[in-house]
Amino acid sequence: MDKTPQQRITLEPGKRGGRPCIRGMRIAVYDVLSWLAAGMSEDEILADYPELEREDIRASLGFAANRDASVTRLAA
């Protein structure tokens, strides 16, 4: 059964300092976002980290977008 994007991102207190990770692995959402920001393509990430799936990368992007949407905006 395929995991939903929300099920792909896990939070475990003892893993990576409680940072959001991919499917319980030690690869954090931060890692994936950093690789993308550094210019790596999805295909390059998947080649370097074969345990990842394309849907994991997209779930990381979705997680970041949702987190940004939930930030409280301060009035100017």
- Residue 72 has a pLDDT of 65
Give me the pLDDT at residue 41, please: 98
> Confidence band (pLDDT; 50, 70, 90) for 74?
low
Q: Spell out a b/e string for 23-55, using b for 16 or more CB atoms within 10 Å of the CB, else e.
A: beeebbbebbeebbeeebeeeebbeebeebbeb
pLDDT > 60? residue 1 = no
Lowest-pLDDT choice from 1-10, 12-21, 28-37, 60-69: 1-10
Query: CATH second-level architecture of 5-65?
Result: Orthogonal Bundle (1.10)
- 13-41: per-residue pLDDT in tens? 999 999 999 999 999 999 999 999 999 99
